[in-house]
Amino acid sequence: MLLFLDPGTDQAALAARLGDYGFHVHAHTYEGHTTLGLVGPGKAKAAELQALPGVRRVLPIQEPYKLVSRTFRPDPTLIKVGRATLGGSQMVLMAGPCAVESEAHIHEMARLVAQAGLPVMRGGAFKPRTSPYAFQGHGEEGLKWMRAAADAHGLAVVSEVMDASQIPLMLEYVDVLQVGARNMQNFTLLAALGKVRRPVMLKRGISATIAEWLMAAEYILSGGNYEVILCERGIRTFETATRNTFDISAVPVLKQLTHLPVVVDPSHAIGVRDKVIPLARAGVAAGADGCIVEFHTCPEEAMSDGPQALYPEELQQLARELEGICGAIGRGFARL
């Protein structure tokens, strides 16, 4: 920790105080400004030190997260999801409907996912909705339908968990527990997910910085669950021409900071079908380990988020284009 002092600060008094916290203090003066370097077993947080008289600024030298950091673990974490592996040499395309709509429909969707050669299906059984008056999902019944449909085609399943109380139920049916953007800092949920042994796909909060997102992942890893997949799905900015702003830069930034796999969700980032394909291509070109998109047999009739769902033939086209881009940047493309 480095402290930058106000001019005229009583350094002796401050050093004594810092000694009480258990720090050894090294003072240096550059350009007429004094900085104190703290070493040793002291335990005060930056905010506490900031409150001390004369302290103008506190600069932590290390990142606040540890377990998720590349410094802590230089090699990439590989996470097995059904027949695919996230974080390795192959990019994984995942697809499915926004919500599980009916037993027959999810079976047809699973057939189409397998037909496109993709190893992982997504689908929501519990739906967080901005309005209390909107469709809230089929719950456990939806999970059962999706599991059976996926098993019939050898697919893995990703689905959202909305509350810690749902975890035991979800564990019976899904391969990856998704945490939605609105829950990224639901610390009760994160702590509970740290205690299970099942991969978690952690979506970025709509206004979360990359540092906060990594801290949220740290909550899960610090509980003992090391399999976390980070999913960029757009951030909130001033621009209103798109639903969110797809933060493509997050992909290379995360690949440098953390060993965890990074996935992109262009469907929720942009919210309109005809721009999902360009953004999916962009995400993969930027180095994402995976891409998760929504499609539907008939988007016009989807029970939620129809406007952003691809048509089945668009999904097949996307798979072909992504395979080509993977080739151009020296990467494989996971096939079922």
129-168 positions binding its own copies, by CB under 8 A: 129-134, 162-165
Q: How far is the CB of 314 from its own copies (least distance, A)?
A: 14
- Is residue 22 within the footprint of its own copies (CB under 8 A)? no
**Which of 147, 183 has the CB closer to its own copies?**
183
Non-local CB neighbours of 140 within 8 Å, separated by 6+ positions? 125, 169
The dihedral sign for the CA sequence 98, 197, 205, 321: negative
Identify the residue among 10, 50, 102, 115 touching its own copies (CB under 8 A). Answer: 50
Q: How far is residue 177's CA from residue 189's CA, in Å, rounded to a whole number? A: 11
Give Cα separations from 222 to 122, 216, 219, 284 (angstroms).
Answer: 27, 10, 5, 29
Cβ at position 257, least distance to its own copies in Å: 8
Q: Which of 151, 207, 224, 332 binds its own copies (CB under 8 A)?
A: 207
Choose, by CB under 8 A, the member of 10, 13, 28, 152 that binds its own copies. 28
30 binds its own copies (CB under 8 A): yes
For residues 190-206, one letter each, b for 16 or more C-beta atoms within 10 angstroms of the residue's C-beta and e for the rest, the string is bebbbebeebbbbbbbb
- Within residues 80-139, the interface with its own copies by CB under 8 A covers 128-134
In the complex with its own copies, which residue's Cβ is closer, 25 or 143?
A: 25
Can you state the angle between helices 210-222 and 250-257, rounded to 10 degrees? 40
DSSP 230: E
Q: Give the closest residue to 90 by CA, choosing from 121, 117, 123, 122.
A: 117
* Token pair listed for 273: 């079908």
- Residues pairing with 235 in the sheet: 245
Q: Which of 8, 12, 41, 47 binds its own copies (CB under 8 A)?
A: 47
Which listed range, 41-49, 89-97, 113-121, 171-179, lies at the site for its own copies (CB under 8 A)? 41-49
Minimum distance, C-beta of residue 282 to its own copies, in the bound complex (Å): 4
Task: Show the site string, 215-254: x = touches its own copies by CB under 8 A, - = not.
Answer: x--xx--xx-----------xxxxxxxx--xxxxxxxxx-
Is residue 328 packed enough to be buried (19+ CB in 10 Å), middle (13-18) or exposed (0-12)?
exposed
Interacting residue with its own copies among 15, 78, 169, 191 (CB under 8 A): 191
When asked if residue 209 is in the footprint of its own copies (CB under 8 A), the reply is: yes
- Please give the residues from 290 up to 329 whose contact with its own copies meets the rule CB under 8 A: 299-300, 302, 304-307, 321, 323-325, 327-329
Least Å distance, CB 311 to its own copies, is 11
Neighbours of 239 (CB within 10 A): 9
Choose between 3 and 150: whose C-beta lies nearer to its own copies. Answer: 3
Q: Considering the rule CB under 8 A, would residue 18 count as an interface residue with its own copies?
A: no
Q: Which is nearer to its own copies, 75 or 239 (CB)?
A: 239
With CA atoms as reference, report the closest residue to 93 among 78, 81, 108, 76: 81
Nearest approach in angstroms of CB 117 to its own copies is 17
Q: How many residues bind its own copies (CB under 8 A)?
A: 100
Q: Dig out the tokens for 293 from the structure.
A: 């998109």
Look at residues 112, 109, 143 and name the one whose alpha carbon lies nearest to residue 127. Answer: 143
| Cβ neighbours for 331, distance < 8 A, ≥ 6 positions apart | 89, 90, 91
Q: Residue 159 or 186: which CB sits closer to its own copies?
A: 186
Residues 264-283 that bind its own copies (CB under 8 A): 269-270, 274-275, 278-279, 281-283
